[in-house]
């Protein structure tokens, strides 16, 4: 029977098969890297806001704690955006005529809320209870980064499913005493030892339960 293909086709076909596998693998890796990039996650990208509010100035400079503005962080599933009245508690007395605060004064007079651009925004298919994490000793810094050093707030962490699961599998790495949850400067002497102790004290569930689909996707 005559040979229809040259012997070199054996080598070429093998190269095409292995090359195809390589291209598919590279494509999958590239897709994952793009999905983790700031272009998708918005990490370290500050959004334009109606007022250029500086957390660095208010938190580090003036010593205002998170709970003064975000009053529901401890007991609610949602960390509220402060109403204009909270801003005006101070700014009826100081910087009242500042040009940059004109949107605040306008909103105060009209009764219409400022339209802030949400920085930390999870999908509607994700259930996240802010109060539960605070009550279990997860510090603000773990998710939001050093907000006290941010002139304009941006996402410090990607808040992806992979990122959340890493914490849920090893919660000991992130637990702190409840009286230090809002302390941006707190550093543990031995996080591993303290984390294990606090996990038992706070009655935190096993990693198996924390990584169950129903925990975040009701």
- pLDDT for 58-114, tens place per residue? 999 999 999 999 999 999 998 899 999 999 999 999 998 899 999 999 999 999 989
In terms of Cβ atoms closer than 10 Å to its own Cβ (0-12, 13-18, 19+), residue 193 is exposed
pTM over 0.85: no
pLDDT in the model for residue 63: 95
pLDDT in the model for residue 4: 62
* Residue 9 scores a pLDDT above 70: no
CA gap 126, 149 in Å, rounded: 29
pLDDT in the model for residue 88: 95
pLDDT in the model for residue 38: 76
pLDDT in the model for residue 20: 75
CA distances to 42, 68, 104 from 36, in Å: 9, 33, 35
pLDDT in the model for residue 26: 73
pLDDT in the model for residue 199: 95
| Residue 206 banded pLDDT, cuts 50, 70, 90 | confident
pLDDT in the model for residue 2: 57
Domain ranges of the chain: 8-36, 55-81+116-216
Higher pLDDT, 149 or 5: 149
| Residue 121 banded pLDDT, cuts 50, 70, 90 | confident
Which pairs from 51-56 meet CB under 8 Å and 24+ separation? 51/100, 51/101, 51/103, 51/104, 51/114, 52/100, 52/152, 53/152, 53/153, 54/151, 54/152, 55/147, 55/148, 55/150, 55/151, 55/152, 55/153, 56/148, 56/149, 56/150, 56/151
Instruction: Average the pLDDT over 194-198 and give the result.
Output: 96
* Residue 8 scores a pLDDT above 70: no
pLDDT in the model for residue 120: 92
pLDDT in the model for residue 25: 80
């Amino acid at each position: 029977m005559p040979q229809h293909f040259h012997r070199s086709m054996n080598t070429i076909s093998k190269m095409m098969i292995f090359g195809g596998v390589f291209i598919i693998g590279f494509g999958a890796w590239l897709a994952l890297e793009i999905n983790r990039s700031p272009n998708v996650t918005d990490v370290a990208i500050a959004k334009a806001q109606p007022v250029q509010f500086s957390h660095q100035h208010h938190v580090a400079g003036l010593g205002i704690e998170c709970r003064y503005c975000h009053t529901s962080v401890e007991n609610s599933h949602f960390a509220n955006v402060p109403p204009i009245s909270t801003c005006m508690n101070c700014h009826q007395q100081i910087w009242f005529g500042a040009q940059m605060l004109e949107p605040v004064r306008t909103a105060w007079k009209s009764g219409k809320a400022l339209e802030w651009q949400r920085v930390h925004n999870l999908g509607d298919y994700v259930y996240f209870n802010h109060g539960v994490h605070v009550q279990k000793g997860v510090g603000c810094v773990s998710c939001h980064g050093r907000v006290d050093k941010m002139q304009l707030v941006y996402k410090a962490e990607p808040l992806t499913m992979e990122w959340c699961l890493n914490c849920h599998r090893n919660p000991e790495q992130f637990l702190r005493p409840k009286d230090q949850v809002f302390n941006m400067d707190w550093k543990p002497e031995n996080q591993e030892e303290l984390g294990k102790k606090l996990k038992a004290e706070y009655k935190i569930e096993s990693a198996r339960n924390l990584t169950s689909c129903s925990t975040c996707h009701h």
